[in-house]
Structure 1
C-alpha cells in the first residue's frame, strides 16, 4: 500500500523515550506510512533496541547524522520526502488513538499545515495532570520605545482539557512537538539552523506563501513536559541543544532573516538556566517540588531580567495586520 505520510522522529530535549514514541506510532496508526528516525548520536542503550524492534520493516529508515540540531537533521531529510504529507514528531511526544486521520482530512481541505491539539503532562511545575500546551497561537508585535519586538502569544495556555475548544481553527503558529505538512510546502520551506523560534520562522515563511495553518483538536498528542527524570546522556543532548553557543546565534539568525528581536529573548535564556537546574536536581533524585525550588535559586543567582513593560501582551498588536514582514535574508546559518 502507498504510504499516506512520512513520519520523521527527531530528539527534542532528550534521547530517552524513543521506544515509547515509536510504539505509540505503531499502536495508533492504521494508515500506511514511512517512518524515518533521525539518529542524532543516540546512545546504544536507546537506539539499539529500536533498531532491533524495527529490523526488516521496509517502511523504516534510520539517518545516522551524529550530534547536531533537529533543524539541521531535518534539512538532510527534506529533499528526500516523496509522500503527499509529512509529519514531524518529537521523540518526547506520544500520538493517541485516531490521531492521523483528522490531520489528513484537514490537509485534504486545503490546509498546508495541520497541528493536533498538544496536551502537556504535568512536569516542571504543578497543575492539572494533563492540560493544554498548544491550541492556537499568533505572532504579535509590541513597541519598547521606538523598537518593535515580537511576542509569541498562545491562546488557552495551560487551560484544562474540558475548557479547550473542540473545533478546527485557523492558527498563526504551530510547534514541532507534532505537526503535519503538505509535502510540497515542506520541500519549499527553508529550515534555518535555529534551536529557538524556528517554528515561528517557518510560520512566517508559510504566511508569505499564502498558505493556511489550522489546529485540529480531533487529533490529540501528549507531550512530556520534562517531568520524567533524565539519564546522563539525555542531559548531554539538552545541554548541547540549549547551550549558549546555539541559543544566542539562533536569535541573531532570526533577526537577520526577519528584522525583529523577540521581547522574550532574555526570558528564554533564563528558562534554559532554570531547566538545567531542574534537570540536574531531578537526576540527583530530588522530587519535583524540591527541583522547582532549586530552579528558583538558580534564577536568583544566575538570571537577569529584561521586562520593561508592565503588560506587554496587552500593549501588543497582531503582526500580520499589515501583511507579512519582508524577509530580509535567506541565511540558514
Structure 2
C-alpha cells in the first residue's frame, strides 16, 4: 500500500450523538490510503469510550480535551500533527459517498487548487437535498467607499434530481468546513486558523485569506457528502450545542470578521444580529413548544410559549454557560489526552 498523502481531521460540529455512524461511514467509503486524527472535545462518556476502542482497533490518533472546543481550536489541534501533502477537515456529523476523498484529491491534482469542497447535501435520506454547491465569498467596495461582504451559497435546498440542477467542476470562492480538502503547505503562508473566530464564518474568513494570498478554491461535484443535523437533540448534546451556537460566540465571531476585513456594519451584519439564537430556538426550543402545546397548531399559543416563556429563560442560561466557559477556557491553556505513542506539538 502506498504512503498516505492525506490526513483526515475529524472535529466536533455541534453534537456527539452521530459519532459512530459518521466515523464508520468514513472508513467504509474511503478507498485510498489515509491517516486520521480524531479530535474529541469532551464527548459524553460512552462516546469517548467508543472512540478509544476505535482508535486502538483502527490505529488512528485520538486527541481528547476535557472541555468543549471551538471549531477552529479543534482544527488547529489536529493540524499541528499533520505531515501529509493534504489535510481534509471533516465535521463529526457527515456521511460521505464512496470515492469522496479521491475525487477531492484528483481535483486538486488536476487543477492545482489550494482548497476543494464536495457537493454537500443536507438531511436524510442521504445525498438528495443539496446544501452547498460552491459559492461566493469576497469583499466589494460600494459607491460610498464602504467595504462590504458578499456571501452566497449555490443550489441550497435544491434536489439533486431536479433537471434544472447542472453541476460541473468549477473554480469558486467558498467552501464550508463540513468537508474541506486543503493543501497543507498553504498553512506555512497563512498560519493556523484564527481562534478568535469562535463559531461562525470561519470558513468564509479562511477562503478570503486563501484568495488574498493567491490560492484557489474549487467545487468538485464528483465528491458527494451529506451532513446530518437533527432535532430534537439528545439530552447529552444540549450543553455543547448551546455553547457552540451561543449569542456570545456568534457576536464575537462577527465582530472579529468585521475588524479583520475592515467591513461596514451593513445590512448583512444587521440581519445576523437579529437572527441570533435561531439554531437554538429551532433545534432545542421548538420541540419543547410542541410538547407543551400538546400538538395544538395555534400560532399565538406557540409564540407565547416560545418568546414569552422559553426564549428569555434560555438566553439567560446561554449567557451563564458562555460566561463560565470564557473564564475557564478562552485562554492559552489546553489539557490533552492522546491515544498514540507520539507527543502532541505545543498548540
Q: What's the TM-score bracket when you normalise by the shorter of the two chains? A: 0.7 to 0.9
Residue 275 of structure 1 contacts residue 295 of structure 1 at CA under 8 Å; is this kept in 2?
A: no
Tell me if 1:248 matches 2:251: yes
- 1:274, distance to aligned residue in structure 2 (A): 2.5
Change (3 A) 1:228 1:99: farther
Q: Name the structure 1 match of 2:157.
A: 158
Residues 53, 252 of structure 1: CA spacing in aligned structure 2 closer, same or farther, 3 A cutoff? same
The answer to whether the 8 Å contact 1:274/1:299 transfers is no
TM-score (ref. length: structure 2): 0.76
Q: CA deviation at 1:228?
A: 4.4
* 35-44 or 239-248: bigger deviation: 239-248
Q: 1:184 to 1:129 in 2, by over 3 A?
A: closer
The match for 1:57 is 58
Q: Which residue of 1 aligns with 2:234?
A: 231
**Distance change in 2, residues 1:69/1:262 (3 Å):** farther
> Who is 2:342 aligned against?
none
1:87-102 pair list within 5 angstroms: 87-102=88-103
Residue 80 (structure 1) shift: 2.1
Q: In the superposition, relative to structure 1, how do residues 47 and 300 fare at CA in structure 2: closer, same or farther (>3 Å)?
A: same
Q: 1:295, CA displacement in angstroms?
A: 8.1
Contact 2:231 2:284 in 1 (8 A): no
May I ask how many residue pairs the two structures share in their alignment? 297
- Tell me which residue corresponds to 1:31: 32
TM-score, normalised to structure 1's length? Answer: 0.79
Give, in whole Å, the separation in 1 of the partners of 2:303 and 2:32.
43
Secondary structure at 1:161's aligned position in 2? coil
1:296 is displaced (CA, Å) by 10
> In structure 2, the residue corresponding to 1:54 is in which secondary structure?
helix
The alignment's C-alpha RMSD in Å is 3.2
Q: List gaps (5 residues or longer) in structure 1.
A: 304-331
Q: Which has the larger radius of gyration?
A: 2
2:132 & 2:308 partners in 1: Cα distance? 29
Deviation for aligned residue 1:285:
9.1
Q: In structure 2, list runs of 5 or more residues that go unmatched.
A: 313-331, 333-347
| Counterpart mapping for 1:1-333 below 5 A | 1=1, 2-58=3-59, 60-65=60-65, 66-109=67-110, 110-121=112-123, 130-139=128-137, 141=140, 143=142, 147-162=146-161, 163-189=164-190, 190-193=192-195, 194=197, 195-224=199-228, 226-260=229-263, 261=265, 263-281=267-285, 284=288, 286=290, 298=306
Tell me the SS of whatever aligns to 1:68. coil
